[in-house]
């Protein structure tokens, strides 16, 4: 797999403390989601608290359960997702779609994880000059709507909630939040 050594700690058919912790989180999450709810927002208070680590490993855990999962890099000022999965930070992604939805196919921006055929990644994309305004656009609802047709679960790796208003704006498209 292409991910950074040590970032993804969940492996198929393994049983250690870390795997069990993510299984417990996965079980609780699936219990809390109702009906056709699919969108999970992951955040914390400050940078460096492990949002991308938790997002990535939870996504892998869900994929191993047989769920079709996409993880979206919505911490658009400083994406940790690119590091977790070893993705080039210069690749186009969600920000490119949000800034020009008529010029980008969302499906073309999605990358296979290289870890599980059930797990895809929609990277951050280029850093925009106007992150908050970009996230406030109706294109975000459109993107999530498209992803809902293709995936069982959509995990949104977002910015620290205490630092910027981005995550509060993103929460409008989420069914549940993990803090």
pLDDT value of position 14: 80
Among residues 59, 76, 55, the alpha carbon closest in space to that of 128 is found at 76
The pLDDT, as a whole number, for residue 79 is 84
Q: What pLDDT is recorded for position 1?
A: 42
pTM higher than the cut 0.85: yes
For 9-23, letters b (16+ CB in 10 Å) and e give: bbeeeeeeeebeebb
Give mean pLDDT in consecutive 10-residue pieces for the chain, a chain of 179 residues. Answer: 64 85 95 95 93 95 97 92 90 96 96 96 94 94 97 97 90 96
Q: Which helix (H) or strand (E) holds 114?
A: none
Sign of CA dihedral 145, 150, 151, 157: negative
Quick one: angle between helices 17-32 and 51-64, nearest 10?
Answer: 80
């Amino acid at each position: 797999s292409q991910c950074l050594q040590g970032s993804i700690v969940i492996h198929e058919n393994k049983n250690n403390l870390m795997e069990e912790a993510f299984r417990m989180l996965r079980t609780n999450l699936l219990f809390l989601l109702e009906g056709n709810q699919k969108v999970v927002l992951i955040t914390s208070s400050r940078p460096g608290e492990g949002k991308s680590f938790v997002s990535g490993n939870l996504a892998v855990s869900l994929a191993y359960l047989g769920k079709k999962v996409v993880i979206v890099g919505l911490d658009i000022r400083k994406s940790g997702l690119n590091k977790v999965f070893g993705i080039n930070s210069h690749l186009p992604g969600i920000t490119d779609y949000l800034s020009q939805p008529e010029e980008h196919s969302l499906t073309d921006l999605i990358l296979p994880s290289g870890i599980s055929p059930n797990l895809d990644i929609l990277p951050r994309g280029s850093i925009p000059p106007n992150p908050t305004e970009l996230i406030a656009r109706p294109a975000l609802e459109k993107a999530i709507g498209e992803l809902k047709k293709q995936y069982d679960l959509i995990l949104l790796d977002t910015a620290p909630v205490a630092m910027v208003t981005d995550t509060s704006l993103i929460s409008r498209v989420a069914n549940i939040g993990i803090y």
